[in-house]
Amino acid sequence: MSLSKPDPESAAATSGAAVERPVFDATITPHRSLGADGFRLVMTLVCLSSIVASVPFVLLGAWPVAGFFGLDILALFIAFKVNFNAARAFERIVVTPLEVMLRQVSHRGKEAIWRSNPVWTKLEREHDEDYGLMRLDLVSRGSRVVVASALSPQEREGFAQALGAALAEARRGPAFEPA
């Protein structure tokens, strides 16, 4: 039987990996009930119904009405495109034992990053007795940032519980596994 000293480099690598391992990692995107296939279907149906509805007007000599049907289709298309562009926004929250990182990206691609130590970070909740959790903030040393604004109040409540548990786990520190 031989005794050997633990390798300090492998111990440091193991502890470094445990410290950097995310306790919590979530990406929040705005909910959109209509996907690309649904959009194509809706636009096809609207175009077909507009064509069918405009044919009698054209046959009666009121051809400008067909142009207004076309403007309706164009307005609907633009509204959907604006909605789909707004859906590109997202928030990513990563909690490790050393850091809470919130990355918010707007639909235009503008990025804002907020970092904090989990020991000094707390969640503040704004409840409404009729609607539930209306606002969730991460607060650290006087700095405050709204998080999970794209979620419904019920989803926000579940998210707040999971994030609160992750912050508590991060405050306890990394769980080192015996070698």
10: pLDDT strictly greater than 50: no
pLDDT at 16: 54
Whether residue 175 contacts residue 23, with contact meaning beta carbons closer than 8 Å, is answered with: no
CA distance 132 to 24: 24
**Could you give the angle at the alpha carbon of 58 between the alpha carbons of 56 and 60, nearest 5°?**
70
Does this model's pTM top 0.75? no
- Write the pLDDT tens digit of every residue in 117-173: 999 999 999 988 888 889 999 999 888 999 998 899 999 999 999 999 999 999 887
Minimal CA–CA distance to 27: which of 88, 86, 82, 85?
A: 88
pLDDT averaged over the chain?
A: 85
Give residues with Cβ within 8 angstroms of 51, minimum separation 6.
Answer: 69
pLDDT at residue 175, as a whole number: 66
